[in-house]
Amino acid sequence: MAQRKIDELLQDDIGFGDLTSEILDPNVKIKAVVVAKGEGIVAGTEEASYAFSRLGARVTVRKHDGEKVKPGDILMEVEGGAREILAAERTALNLLMWMSGTATATAQMLEKAREVNPKIVLACTRKSPLPIFDKKAVEVGGGDPHRFRLDDCLLLKSNHLKLLGGVRMALQKIRKSFTKKVEVEVGTAEEALEAAMYGADIVMLDNVPVEEVRRTVELLEQKGLRNKVLVEVSGGINPSNVQEYARAGPDVLSSSYMTMHAPALDLSLEIL
């Protein structure tokens, strides 16, 4: 049901109508292709197809979500009214460019991380302008979407802990739901241990040096709690330090790099 969001993107971009394309004869039909001008992993083909089809065009996808492309590759063919295809162009290509950029960055960072830690998970965050598209793109790239909203897992952050009197008190007060996991943000190995002892399913080390990650993993192992909790690390993870953090042994790295700073995949719409 991301369709309503795409309808809104189209409507916000088109307004009273595409003044420029209105010059074109309403009966002119064209065939166009979306061509890669860069290299990466494709994501957003369903979304872009929907945007074109909403204005009456027929789309044939040539490269599906998850496939690799290089410059010159055709991602999709579009047939329909010239006016309509050009009116949908920006919205459709924006979705495809952003989502492919995010998927590509996710796959690249994940690959790096797994070279040194083969089971590690790479997750995104809620720092995401268009979450319904961004989260999906991360999944296409092999990443984990993390929480979708404030309602789908309990994440006690430092502000909650401050208000509730620390990790232990907070974990004793929370109203659990049996279908939801409980995660706690911690700053040291000792806090992580406390969280694990009082029932957290996941501990998130936020903005800590690599060394603290390593110390946390070791402390949890010593105390026999390593299998009780997942260890997540967040804060400033990016392509340049992802391997270093991965090597320290956590289960999950989460980063807003993929949804906030990944370069979009360069694309163009070419009329045949």
Cα 202 to chain centroid, rounded? 20
Among 58, 68, 70, 127, binds its own copies (CB under 8 A): 127
Interface of this chain with its own copies, residues 218 to 247, rule: CB under 8 A: 230, 232
CB of residue 249 to its own copies, shortest distance in Å: 15
CA distances from 269 to 18, 28, 31, 74 (A): 17, 17, 10, 10
The least distance separating its own copies from the CB of residue 150, rounded to whole angstroms, comes to: 4
Q: Mask of contacts with its own copies, 4-33, x by CB under 8 A? A: x--x--xxxxxxxxxxxxxxx---x-x-x-
- Residues 180-219 binding its own copies (CB under 8 A) are 180-181, 183, 202
Residue 91 makes CB contacts below 8 A (sequence gap 6+) with 6, 9, 10, 13, 51
The single residue among 102, 103, 117, 136 that binds its own copies, judged by CB under 8 A, is: 136
Write the CA distances from 133 to 43, 233, 264, integer angstroms: 9, 24, 13
Q: Which is nearer to its own copies, 73 or 235 (CB)?
A: 235
Q: Which of residues 245-264 bind its own copies (CB under 8 A)?
A: 251-252, 260-261, 263-264
Interacting positions 81-120 with its own copies (CB under 8 A): 82, 86-87, 89-90, 94, 97-98
How far apart are CB 95 and its own copies at their closest, in Å?
10
Rounded-to-integer distance, Cα 230 and Cα 119, Å: 12
Q: Least Å distance between CB 42 and its own copies?
A: 15
Asked if 41 contacts 48 with a C-beta cutoff of 8 angstroms, the reply is: no
Query: Binding to its own copies by residue 130, rule CB under 8 A?
Result: yes
Q: What's the half-sphere exposure (Cβ side, CA atoms, 13 Å) at 86? A: 17
The CB-side HSE value for 52 (13 A sphere, CA atoms) comes to 31
Of 102-110, 135-143, 208-216, 240-248, the window that binds its own copies (rule: CB under 8 A) is 135-143
The residues in 142-181 that bind its own copies, with binding defined as CB under 8 A, are: 144-157, 159-160, 162-164, 170, 173-175, 177-181
CA dist 45 → 3, 67, 179, 186, 264 (Å): 13, 11, 32, 39, 14
d(CA 8, CA 137): 19
Q: How many residues bind its own copies (CB under 8 A)?
A: 82
In whole angstroms, the minimum distance from the beta carbon of 126 to its own copies comes to 5
**Nearest approach, Cβ of 239 to its own copies (angstroms)?**
14
Closer Cβ to its own copies, 207 or 222, answer by number: 207
